Chains A and B, each alone.
Chain A
Amino acid sequence: MTATATRSANIALFSLWALFWVATTIVALQEASRNEYIRWWEPLLWEGSSALLGTLWLLLQRRIGLNYAQYLDRPRLWFLHHLKWLPLFAPVFVVSIYGIRNVVYGLVGRVYHHDSWTFIWVYETVKLLLFLSLWLGVIFGFDSFAQWRSQRERLLNVQKALAESQLQQLQSQLRPHFLFNALNTISSLMHVDLARADRLLARLGDLLRLSLQVTRRDLTSLREELRMLELYAQIMQERFVDRVSVSWDIAADTADAAVPALLLQPLLENAFRHGVERSASAAAISIASRREDGQLVLTIVNTGTLDSAQQGNGIGLRNCRERLRVHYGADASLELREDGGQVIARVRLPYREYTP
């Protein structure tokens, strides 16, 4: 359990504890007020002594009993480990409260009348067992809840770390296949158009450099993200010269928006892979961004149909969704659908300005 979760569980538990003893004392006082033989301070002493020993037990439980937190997912073991102390605690408890009461009665010059010791031993032990069981139930509830909360917190952290490592994986996915084909295109262009080959080589260099920088931060500006997409698209266009046209429609007021780095990269790769590489006819891809009701809307459209492989099960898409969820929870979405011979991938996320 984390420290904060334990602390908030403790505060709630001790508040409930105090409330319980105030209530029992008030009840005892009320009962005593109807009995003329009982003085006003007597119920205070009886309840007070029990409360004192009970609180000592609770403090011990919070100290030592926390070792038993490991058994929280096995309730029976957890209760057994606590109750095994009863044979030791019960005599201490009975001797202590009766001792305190006898001393106080003696100090005011009176005698504490009570039942026979045999009866008291049995009666107090049974009462204590019931009382402790009840409170152990309450404590169990609090601790389980605190543990659940801290586990969830940890899970979220793990997921975040996972998303970051996925980002690295994504980056390494600026895939060998892409790289080798791009190199082959350059190797071909070299013989006919040295300047163009040179330009393509420089772009490939830029793309690699940018993708190496990007892992150092998880968020980037849309401007930067689009620059990568543009480089990628330019290289792909050189490879598929006659087969694809790419168009951009970027609203000027979206350039400074913060977006998870490389979020759109797998979507554009998908558009090329499914819309261009697997299609023998000419294809078109368009990339657009706009603001809409405080949201940033990013759209990548490719001609073609949504085949089962693209149906949102690919690693790239899953990755995108996961990263959106980690960053924005339920406030962001990624939808993929087919409409009139086009496959539309649309990301919506809260618009925030990017601050480096």
Chain B
Amino acid sequence: MIRALIVDDEAPARDKLRRALGEHRDITIVGEAGNGLQAAEAIETLRPDVVWLDIQMPGLTGLEVAAQLEPQDAPLIVFVTAFDEHAVAAFDLNAVDYLLKPYDDERLLRSLTRVRERQGTAARSPAIRIARHQTGVSDRLLVPQGERLQLIDSVAIHWLEADDNYVHVHTAAQHYLLRRTLQDLLAQLGEQRFVRIHKSAAVNVAEIQSLTPLFKGDYELQLRSGHSLRLSRRYRDPLFARMGR
């Protein structure tokens, strides 16, 4: 059984997908979403196997939603769009599944066949990588807030701390727990703003207050917030280079 999520901001477009997918016995539609934020929440809570994801939506676009997902356990994604030359060119180059509106049953079936082929195999779709490439570095990050998700500005993040399969995201007043790897989160947020200081920690470069040498080439790193962290010798040179020292 393939569990599917339908995302489109236009009700008739959702109707169409629901009806067309409903004819296939191996598909269960587990939910629908009408905008980007709802879509991200639905993906988080419903854990669908596949998402038919419209690109043009209020709030977060489909590409931005995909860019926020962790590639390792993200659902398969089929992008749906009426007209988006750049994205479609990138999809074609990288074998990302997509549907162009308007589509007929035959074309929907083709995308469904691809989904069935990939389903259950280790072969991940390059959809998330391409979505990140299309949207550039994320200025906003989706974080869980109670039952819901919310967007925070990435400048507001002070530092990141890895903890098994989770990352703690620290801002001035809050602390969020994301089920992501640090490496992937850094790839999404971009090397410009965040730099690793430790195997399991990274800081917002703009938040660094001072550095004090410790034993054996390690440093104590003081943040503007007063919090202090350890800079490991291994990550010292890249950080210094980044800070222009």
**Which residues of chain B are within 8 angstroms of A240 by Cβ–Cβ distance?**
9-11
**Which residues of chain B are within 8 angstroms of A280 by Cβ–Cβ distance?**
9, 34-35, 37-38, 58-59
Asked if residues B56 and A184 are in contact (CB atoms below 8 Å), the reply is: no
The stretch of A33-41, A115-123, A173-181 in contact with B is A173-181
Distance A192 CA – B14 CA, assembled complex (angstroms): 13
Distance A183 CA – B15 CA, assembled complex (angstroms): 14
Name which residue of chain B comes closest to A196, CB basis.
B12
**Which residues of chain B are within 8 angstroms of A63 by Cβ–Cβ distance?**
none
**Which residues of chain B are within 8 angstroms of A187 by Cβ–Cβ distance?**
16, 101-104
Interface presence of B187 (CB below 8 A) = no
Interface presence of A1 (CB below 8 A) = no
**Which residues of chain B are within 8 angstroms of A243 by Cβ–Cβ distance?**
9
Interface presence of A277 (CB below 8 A) = yes
Asked if residues B83 and A185 are in contact (CB atoms below 8 Å), the reply is: no
Asked if residues B15 and A180 are in contact (CB atoms below 8 Å), the reply is: no
Interface presence of B13 (CB below 8 A) = yes
Name which residue of chain A comes closest to B100, CB basis.
A180
**B12 contacts which of A176, A177, A180, A239 (Cβ < 8 Å)?**
A239
Asked if residues B83 and A184 are in contact (CB atoms below 8 Å), the reply is: no
**Which residues of chain B are within 8 angstroms of A189 by Cβ–Cβ distance?**
12
State how many residues of chain A have any CB contact under 8 Å with chain B. 24
Interface presence of B82 (CB below 8 A) = yes
- Say how far B208's CB is from chain A's closest CB, in angstroms: 30
Tell me the residues in window 161-186 of chain A with beta carbons closer than 8 Å to chain B beta carbons: 175-177, 180-181, 183-186
Known: A183-B102, A187-B16. A177 touches B56 (CB 8 A): yes
Asked if residues B16 and A191 are in contact (CB atoms below 8 Å), the reply is: yes
- Say how far B95's CB is from chain A's closest CB, in angstroms: 23
Distance A130 CA – B101 CA, assembled complex (angstroms): 79
Asked if residues A188 and B12 are in contact (CB atoms below 8 Å), the reply is: yes
Name which residue of chain A comes closest to B35, CB basis.
A280
Interface presence of B86 (CB below 8 A) = no
**A177 contacts which of B11, B83, B104 (Cβ < 8 Å)?**
B83
| Cross-chain pairs A/B with CB under 8 angstroms, 10 sampled | A181-B13, A181-B82, A185-B10, A188-B12, A191-B19, A240-B9, A241-B11, A243-B9, A278-B59, A279-B58
**Which residues of chain B are within 8 angstroms of A176 by Cβ–Cβ distance?**
82-83
**Which residues of chain B are within 8 angstroms of A277 by Cβ–Cβ distance?**
9, 56, 58
**Which residues of chain A are within 8 angstroms of B16 by Cβ–Cβ distance?**
184, 187-188, 191
Distance A176 CA – B15 CA, assembled complex (angstroms): 22
Distance A240 CA – B12 CA, assembled complex (angstroms): 8
Distance A279 CA – B22 CA, assembled complex (angstroms): 29
- Say how far B119's CB is from chain A's closest CB, in angstroms: 26
Distance A223 CA – B9 CA, assembled complex (angstroms): 32
Interface presence of A253 (CB below 8 A) = no
Asked if residues B82 and A180 are in contact (CB atoms below 8 Å), the reply is: yes
Name which residue of chain B comes closest to A279, CB basis.
B58
Name which residue of chain A comes closest to B17, CB basis.
A188
Asked if residues A238 and B12 are in contact (CB atoms below 8 Å), the reply is: yes
Interface presence of A242 (CB below 8 A) = yes
Distance A183 CA – B16 CA, assembled complex (angstroms): 12
Asked if residues A184 and B82 are in contact (CB atoms below 8 Å), the reply is: yes
Asked if residues A192 and B15 are in contact (CB atoms below 8 Å), the reply is: yes
Name which residue of chain B comes closest to A240, CB basis.
B10
**Which residues of chain B are within 8 angstroms of A188 by Cβ–Cβ distance?**
12-13, 15-16, 19
Asked if residues B100 and A241 are in contact (CB atoms below 8 Å), the reply is: no
Distance A239 CA – B103 CA, assembled complex (angstroms): 16
